[in-house]
Every structure is written in structure tokens, then in C-alpha cells.
Structure 1
């Protein structure tokens, strides 16, 4: 069960993580004319920081609530990519390379298919609403 301290730390970490993501995207859009570099930057930065901080915080004996605030809160709202890459790494190190490969390759592929399915469904909703409005 998660403690109230952990929940508060996650919530307090999430705000600066989300704001960092937003401002990197805004800066990227202004600088390069696209959000892609901002997304790439936060994903790579988040993955690096997750790989660096998660083991160090545990090794240093940092309290669970603070560790959760940094990793789940800040880095999790900065990018879920950092969590995803840590999970793939954990699966590989725990001796489950097949599942690691499936997860690593399946997540973006299935994620793309889900986005496309959602877009297709939204078009159906729009067509239905337009048909209803025409009656």
C-alpha cells in the first residue's frame, strides 16, 4: 500500500516534471519549428536520469517517498519513456530477454496502432455527429 507521503511526493514531483516537458517542447518548437526535438530531448534526458538516479537513490538509502517523488513523480511526468526503458532494462537483467524484446518492440508498435484506431474512431464519431446535425 502506498503511503500518504509517497502520494504527496509523487504529486509534488509531477508538477515540475510536466512543466519541464512543456517548456522544452515550447522551446523546441520556437527553435526548430517542431515539437519532435523537444519530445526526443525529454525522452532521452528522462531515460538517462532514470538510469542514473534510480540505482543511486536506492544505493544511498534515500527514503522511499523521496525516491518515488523523483522517479515516478518528476521523471514519470517528464516522460513515461524513462519508466518504459527502465522496465525493459530490468527484464533483460532479470534474465527474461524474450519478454524484454517483446515489450521493447511491442510498445511503440501497439501504441502506434492504438493511436491510429483512436483517430479512426474519432472520425466515426464526427461523421455520426455531422449526420445527426443534418437531420
Structure 2
């Protein structure tokens, strides 16, 4: 009987010594780098567009990358403009029709005072940034 108990104890202890997969609890998760961040190092227009979007353009007040706030998300804007082969620059100059969310057009028109004063290069950088989503 002693040998049986000893044998079971050895088997139990031996089976506990294997490598276990660790749970991620409490450990910092590595965030994936977004395509936009990687692309910005290759295309300086994206970095300039991002600065305009977050700063002078005041776009972040209404637009977020993946969620609708007041205006549509950048992913939605990008998808629709790509699908329709349309120009964001033309829209931001006040020369194009709203194609993403026409119901929000009146809200967006207030920002034309800002975007109409941007240079063509600034508008192209802003478009490049939005289209990178």
C-alpha cells in the first residue's frame, strides 16, 4: 500500500512540473501598430494630414477613427470615398455634394470656414490621412 501511495504521489508531482501557458492577466498587452502610423513614416503627407486633422482642422471634435461621434468615422468616410472614387478635397473646398452622411451636412458646413482657408497641399494631406483608414 505504501508503494502505491508513493507511486501516485510521484506521478502527481511529476505531472505538475510541466510548462504552463501563462494567463495574460496583469500583463501589458502589445498594441498592434496601425497602418496609418506605419504609412506615416513612408509618406510624410500622412503625418502632415494627421497634424491638420488633430489641430488646425479641429476634425477630432466630430470624427474618430472607428466610431461615429457627431460625424461619421474615418473608416466610413474612407470606404465611401474610395467606393465612389470621389474627392475629399473637392468636398472640403465646399464644391462637392455630401456623400457620406448628408443629414450632417449643415453641421459640417460650419467647418468650411477653416477648410476653405487651407492650401491645396494641406487639403491633399488631410485627404491622404483620412483615406489611409
TM-score range, shorter chain: under 0.3
* TM-score after normalising by structure 2: 0.23
Q: TM-score, normalised by structure 1?
A: 0.23
Q: Between Structure 1 and Structure 2, which shows a larger proportion of helix residues?
A: 1
Higher Rg of the two aligned structures: 2
